[in-house]
């Protein structure tokens, strides 16, 4: 038999004193996708596996009469309390070596409780890239083996000369052997390179190896170490630090010495040298024999950031992000596990790298919403990082020119979660560089003056000035495609996706309407093409409305000379591996260029030649039905404005808007955050929204609308019964989601507000688990939700 234990309590139980030599016991989290299995189960460790079973290993066990995969989270010589030892089943086989340690197991237990997910889902981020939950056995006599995607190690064959080579003379007709020996005189060569240079080299090497003249050895090939030509991917050590940089390093040093997981928020203007602070803090950590985890918000930043870190730390840097192939991710992950890399740089998932001796965790641009995971487990990297730092007794550094309101609030409180939160200001740019001049252009006035272009007159003149001075510019547009949508000029029909409740986006290059939710496309041509037809009334007047990145690119080509490079960087041009890096390198190498794109170009890019930033439509994010819309708009505009004027020349920013009086836009115009924060916090407090409360979004979806409605109604009733009469709790809904249908699934949701510090995840997990769901109906719990759509 097997016995379950509470996951959170189990991983925190002491290992106990060494027993009398009896067989150890292991607590195993089963990888079976059900909320009913919310705790690990106890198993015996047979004597033949004692040396192989430890925390973090993947094992095969029997559960309910069938084989199941599990992960060991605790190993102890002390038997579990109240459990008859003779009734415990044994672990049958070890399937994979350890992927995480006891500290990571405790973090996973915290995640399962905090984010209302099964324990196995909380463990998945810590596993080796490519590891699946399937096992196979080639035949009845063979052991079970874990089925993994193609992500294992790759060995390369290298050929080198032996001592016998100095006295060996090949026969006069052995020309290939002589050519191989000549090629190896300067050092070992890969067999693949020899074969490419010398046809027939393989046979010659085999003959020489039999004679002991050369040796062939297998060496591990580490994938994912591509270099970049970006000029911004090098970190020159400055001769002198600014006062803000010195103060930031001093506060990080205090947090490191305190060794309790204290947090330092570096509130530095764009271009203030936060990366140099990160680098020097990591140098101190490495000197103490520890490692560092560094998170960046977007894949597009990784090549630049990794280049900077490798210029300082060499091959001690590993990179982890989703655009790497499985094999590349595995090699980088395994480098960290083997202790061959001590600085891990990457996107959100890099937080779970198997770095055993973490000395510091750094999150750059910590305000970014991309740090919130949108699929299970729906964690926030900032909160998980804070928990990791408490477990590892190391500092957490959060850097941003626009810190989140949650982080600012915790710094004002001084303490949060039992640790100290300290804010350090870095208000100046190094080397005398100044913040750019921001111009707000009221597009209503432009329209009234007869301007029908997507570019206002001031922005058009500024772009022409960049071209004449041979400088560079960045244009931000929060849309991809040619136009936002097509609309019939006669009946007003806007084509929508028949599988999703979203309007279709028009792409002129491919003459297609695309759903950016499910990915489906339909061929169509817009007016004045004679083949166009309204699906509602048959009219041919289906015209394109709105502005997309493709249209901005076309308008720029008409406005600027042919020798100005136009680089468009959006989801359509960055579908392939390495596309982000290729486009940034193209922009970097050009003498004069304009970079056009959505939010991905607004964050962290450092090009000193950029003297102009234009925001084509600042109002897009302001109009979103989200209580964070204003904050996101302010963050985006302030960040993209900071791309200008990082070199010797002063930068300018032009923000086109129909809402020039909005607090977020005025704050960016005057580089004065208080103009926005004070008004925003007042609204949040009145509505009891974060940071003054916690917010969870419970989403239910399925093809059967009646079943979806019934399940969510029952969950809402369970939540209301639990929180009735409790101060600070509020339940909103259920109601249809803004995206009420996605991929033919009906979607409804429930919002729950709770007091700050409440155990929201545990309550929602219990309520959702108490409701039975028919097949085809799914429920997701998003604690501390960012996406309300």
75-93 residue pLDDT tens: 998 888 877 888 899 999 9
Rg (the chain; Cα; Å): 29
Is the pLDDT score of 577 beyond 80? no
Angle of the 705-723 helix axis to the 760-769 helix axis, nearest 10:
130
Which pLDDT belongs to residue 327? 79
In the chain, % of residues over pLDDT 90: 53
More confident: 695 or 646: 695
Is the pLDDT score of 236 beyond 80? no
Is the pLDDT score of 17 beyond 50? no
Q: For the chain, give the number of residues.
A: 789
Which pLDDT belongs to residue 363? 97
Going by pLDDT thresholds of 50, 70 and 90, the confidence category of residue 514 is: confident
Quote the tokens at residue 89: 């089943």
More confident: 153 or 346: 346
Is the pLDDT score of 396 beyond 70? yes
More confident: 521 or 327: 521
Coil vs helix vs strand at 182: helix
Going by pLDDT thresholds of 50, 70 and 90, the confidence category of residue 221 is: low
The predicted model gives 108-126 an average pLDDT of: 95
Is the pLDDT score of 381 beyond 90? yes
Is the pLDDT score of 149 beyond 80? no
Which pLDDT belongs to residue 481? 44
Is the pLDDT score of 1 beyond 50? no
Tens of pLDDT, residue by residue over 455-506, are 999 999 999 999 999 999 999 986 644 457 788 878 888 888 889 888 888 8
Backbone angles phi, psi at 530, to 5 degrees: -70, -15
Per DSSP bridges, beta strands 542-545 and 317-320 are unpaired
CA gap 721, 770 in Å, rounded: 12
CB 456, CB 297: distance < 8 Å: no
CB 385, CB 422: distance < 8 Å: no
Is the pLDDT score of 12 beyond 60? no
Is the pLDDT score of 14 beyond 70? no
CB atoms within 10 A of CB 772: 8
Going by pLDDT thresholds of 50, 70 and 90, the confidence category of residue 232 is: low
More confident: 146 or 74: 74
Per DSSP bridges, beta strands 154-161 and 131-136 are unpaired
Which pLDDT belongs to residue 467? 96
Is the pLDDT score of 533 beyond 70? yes
Quote the tokens at residue 45: 């460790």
Which pLDDT belongs to residue 506? 82
Which pLDDT belongs to residue 140? 67
| Choice among 185-199, 329-343, 508-522, 577-591 with the minimum mean pLDDT | 185-199
The predicted model gives 223-231 an average pLDDT of: 61
**Residues contacting residue 158 through CB under 8 Å, at least 6 positions apart:** 188, 189, 190, 191, 216, 217, 218, 219
Single pTM value for the model: 0.85
Which pLDDT belongs to residue 16? 45
Mean pLDDT rounded to a whole number for the chain: 87
Tell me if the bond preceding 676 is cis, omega within 30° of 0: no
More confident: 228 or 449: 449
Tens of pLDDT, residue by residue over 727-780, are 999 999 999 998 899 999 999 999 999 999 999 999 999 999 999 999 999 999
Residue in the structure block whose two tokens are 């910590």:
366
In the chain, % of residues over pLDDT 70: 90
């Amino acid at each position: 038999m097997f016995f379950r234990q509470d996951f959170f309590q189990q991983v925190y139980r002491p290992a106990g004193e060494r027993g009398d030599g009896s067989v150890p016991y292991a607590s195993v989290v089963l990888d079976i996708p059900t909320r009913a299995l919310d705790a690990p189960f106890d198993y015996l460790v047979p004597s033949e596996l004692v040396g192989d079973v430890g925390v973090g290993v993947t094992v095969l066990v029997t559960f309910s009469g069938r084989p199941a995969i599990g992960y060991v989270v605790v190993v102890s010589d002390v038997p579990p309390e109240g459990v008859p030892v003779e009734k415990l089943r044994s672990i049958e086989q070890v399937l994979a070596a350890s992927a995480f340690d006891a500290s990571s197991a405790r973090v996973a237990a915290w995640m399962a409780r905090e984010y209302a997910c099964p324990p196995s889902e909380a463990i998945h981020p810590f596993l080796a890239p490519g590891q699946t939950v399937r096992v196979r056995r080639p035949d009845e006599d063979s052991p079970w083996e874990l089925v993994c995607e193609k992500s294992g190690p790759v060995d390369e064959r290298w050929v080198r000369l032996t001592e016998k080579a100095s006295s060996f003379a090949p026969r006069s007709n052995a020309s290939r052997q002589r050519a191989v020996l000549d090629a190896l005189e300067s050092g070992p060569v890969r067999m693949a390179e020899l074969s490419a240079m010398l046809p027939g080299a393989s046979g010659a090497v085999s003959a020489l190896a039999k004679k002991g003249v050369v040796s062939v050895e297998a060496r591990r090939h580490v994938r994912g170490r591509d270099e970049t030509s970006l000029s911004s991917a090098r970190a020159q050590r400055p001769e002198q630090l600014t006062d803000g940089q010195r103060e930031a390093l001093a506060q990080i040093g205090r947090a490191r010495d305190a060794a309790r997981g204290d947090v330092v928020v570096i509130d530095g203007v764009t271009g203030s040298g936060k990366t140099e602070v990160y680098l020097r803090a990591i140098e101190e950590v490495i000197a103490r024999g520890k490692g560092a985890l560094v998170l960046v918000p977007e894949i597009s930043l990784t090549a630049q950031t990794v280049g900077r870190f490798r210029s300082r730390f060499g091959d001690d840097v590993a990179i982890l992000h989703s655009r790497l192939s499985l094999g590349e991710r595995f090699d980088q992950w395994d480098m960290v596990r083997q202790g061959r890399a001590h600085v891990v740089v990457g996107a959100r998932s890099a937080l779970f790298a198997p770095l055993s001796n973490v000395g510091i965790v750094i999150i750059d641009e910590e305000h970014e919403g991309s740090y919130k995971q949108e699929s299970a487990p729906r964690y926030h990297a900032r909160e998980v990082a804070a928990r990791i730092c408490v477990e590892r007794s190391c500092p957490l550094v959060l850097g941003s020119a626009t810190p989140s309101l949650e982080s600012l609030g915790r710094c004002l409180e001084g303490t949060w979660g039992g640790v100290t939160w300290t804010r350090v200001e870095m208000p100046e740019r190094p080397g005398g560089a100044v913040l750019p001049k921001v111009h707000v252009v009221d597009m209503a006035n432009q329209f009234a003056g007869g301007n029908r272009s997507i570019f206002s007159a001031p922005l058009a003149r500024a772009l022409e000035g960049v071209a004449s001075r041979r400088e560079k510019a960045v244009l931000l547009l929060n849309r991809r495609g040619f136009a936002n949508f097509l609309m019939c000029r006669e009946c007003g029909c806007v084509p929508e996706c028949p599988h999703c409740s979203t309007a279709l986006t028009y792409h002129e290059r491919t003459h297609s309407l695309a759903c950016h939710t499910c990915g489906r496309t339909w061929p169509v041509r817009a007016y004045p093409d004679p083949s166009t037809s309204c699906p509602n009334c048959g009219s041919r007047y289906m015209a394109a409305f709105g502005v997309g990145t493709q249209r901005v690119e076309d308008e720029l080509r008409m406005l600027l000379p042919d020798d100005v490079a136009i680089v468009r960087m959006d989801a359509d041009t960055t579908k392939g591996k390495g596309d982000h890096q290729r486009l940034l390198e193209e922009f970097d190498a050009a003498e004069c260029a304009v970079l056009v794109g959505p939010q991905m170009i607004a964050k962290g890019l450092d090009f000193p030649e950029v003297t102009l930033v234009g925001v084509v439509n600042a109002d897009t994010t302001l109009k979103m039905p989200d209580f964070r819309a204003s904050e996101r708009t302010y963050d985006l505009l302030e960040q993209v404005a900071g791309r200008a004027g990082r070199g010797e020349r002063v930068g300018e920013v032009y923000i086109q808007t129909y809402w020039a009086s909005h607090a977020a836009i005025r704050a960016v115009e005057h580089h004065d955050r208080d103009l926005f924060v004070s008004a925003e916090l007042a609204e949040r407090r009145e509505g009891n929204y974060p940071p003054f409360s916690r917010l969870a979004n419970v989403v239910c979806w399925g093809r059967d609308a009646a079943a979806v409605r019934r399940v969510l109604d029952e969950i809402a009733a369970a939540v209301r019964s639990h929180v009735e009469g409790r101060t600070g709790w509020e339940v909103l809904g259920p109601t249809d989601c803004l995206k009420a249908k996605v991929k033919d699934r009906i979607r409804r949701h429930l919002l729950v507000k709770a007091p700050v510090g409440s155990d929201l995840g545990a309550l929602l997990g219990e309520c959702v688990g108490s409701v039975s769901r028919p097949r085809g109906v799914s429920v997701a719990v998003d604690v501390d939700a960012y996406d309300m759509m």
